[in-house]
Amino acid sequence: MNLIGEHTDYNDGFTFPMALPFDTVLSFASIGDPAMGRVTIDSAGFGQIEIGPGGDAPSWAKHLVGVIDLLEREGVAARGWRACIDTDIPTGASLSSSAALEVATIRALLARAGLEWPPIEVARIGQRVENEVVGLQSGIMDQFISAGAVEGHASLMDCRALTLTPTRMPSDVVIAVMDTKTRRVLAEAAYDERRASCERAAAAIGVSALRDATLADLDRISDPTDRRRAHHIVTENDRVLSVIDSLEAGDTERFGALMNESHTSLRDDFEVSGPGLDAIVEVAVGAPGCLGARMTGGGFAGCAVALVRTEHADAFVADVVGRYSYDRLTAEVWISEPSPGASVSPAG
């Protein structure tokens, strides 16, 4: 989940994600020929499927088909196995459930092959699955933090240098993940349009990516929509770096204020918020102990995130759940600590 730095990853920018204390578990056993054998999946949510040489599978399993195909292209035998998959990550809630599935599967298949890739190489495969197989032109953030997160830390991610710099979260604040219970429907086209808008804006300025743009450059963008969206990217990158400075200075109030600014920018400039997200952010910023709140993820629906003083965590949760009101839905709120990334545990 991203604390701040939304839609900046595919603009070569900065993000500040952390791994959540949720799990996607893949119980894996090798059966048959690793080069040609069938793959059988028992999913707690979707039932059993088989993935044969042709790669036919229902839409939810495209992520698995993509992992198998791309690992084979890298010379890793990726067939001949069976797995039971379960997760407690809410699907469609902008909490990177697909990235978790991709990374878990990649790590399992690499472990079977006796290989251990660095997190960035695992993340590259996962991103390619999204881009080339699923058809979503997303950045690398979700897979990178799923593969490389450090317990107790959020991480400054430089999406050009492809580095993670862990930053310990202070003990006097907690992260609240707030599920609006709204879900995205066909948001991929809108997501891809936002990316195309950013690319047009960068071309108008004459830079390779909006990471290199400044506020003064925005006057060179003639299209008003592209200019607004570029304004979000430029200011959001600045906000991420300012959050790191605020944490180093122990200034959590500044961190919260930057989160509030981020939500306003995502709502007004980038236009990826939604009524449920706006409703829960408005409730959160008035709840006990809240320092700041914003939507998180690709947008339109799903989850928001808040920075809350530790001593007020219980009161914050009760207040948000009690006052959130959108489309007769009831919010769910989790107080979450930064968790480690994907790992492999041998049988027994």
The bridge status of strand 39-43 relative to strand 81-87 is: parallel
Please spell the DSSP secondary structure of 228-293, one letter per residue: HHHHHHHHHHHHHHHHHHHHHTT-HHHHHHHHHHHHHHHHHTS----HHHHHHHHHHHTSTTEEEE
Domain locations in the chain? 24-148, 169-336
For residues 193 and 187, what is the distance between their CA atoms, to the nearest angstrom? Answer: 10
Which of 3.30.230.10, 3.40.50.10540, 3.40.50.300, 3.40.720.10 would CATH assign to domain 24-148?
Answer: 3.30.230.10
Q: Which residues contact 346 (CB under 8 A, 6 or more apart)?
A: none
- Asked if residue 312 has pLDDT above 70, the reply is yes
Tell me how far apart the terminal alpha carbons of the chain are, to the nearest angstrom. Answer: 31
SS3 88: coil
* CA angle, residues 56, 106, 80, in degrees to nearest 5: 55
For residues 127 and 131, what is the distance between their CA atoms, to the nearest angstrom? Answer: 6
The pLDDT tens digits for 231-266 are: 999 999 999 999 999 999 999 999 999 999 999 999
Taking residues 211-216, what's their average pLDDT? 98
pLDDT of residue 56: 66
The bridge status of strand 163-168 relative to strand 303-309 is: unpaired
Per the CB < 8 A criterion, the answer to whether 338 and 175 are in contact is: yes
pLDDT of residue 60: 76
- Asked if residue 270 has pLDDT above 70, the reply is yes
| Phi, psi for residue 139 in degrees, rounded to 5 | -85, -165
pLDDT of residue 137: 83
> Max CA-CA distance within the chain?
62
Give the DSSP H or E segment for 225.
helix 224-248
Tell the burial category of 35 from Cβ atoms under 10 Å away from its Cβ (0-12, 13-18, 19+).
Answer: exposed
Q: Is 142 among the residues known to form the active site?
A: yes
- Asked if residue 136 has pLDDT above 70, the reply is yes
- Asked if residue 47 has pLDDT above 90, the reply is no
**pLDDT more than 90, % of the chain:** 80
Which of 3.40.50.300, 3.40.50.170, 3.30.1060.10, 3.30.70.890 would CATH assign to domain 169-336?
Answer: 3.30.70.890
More confident residue, 14 or 54: 14
SS3 145: helix
User: Which of 9, 12, 142, 226 is labelled catalytic?
Assistant: 142
For residues 185 and 203, what is the distance between their CA atoms, to the nearest angstrom? Answer: 30
For residues 152 and 171, what is the distance between their CA atoms, to the nearest angstrom? Answer: 10
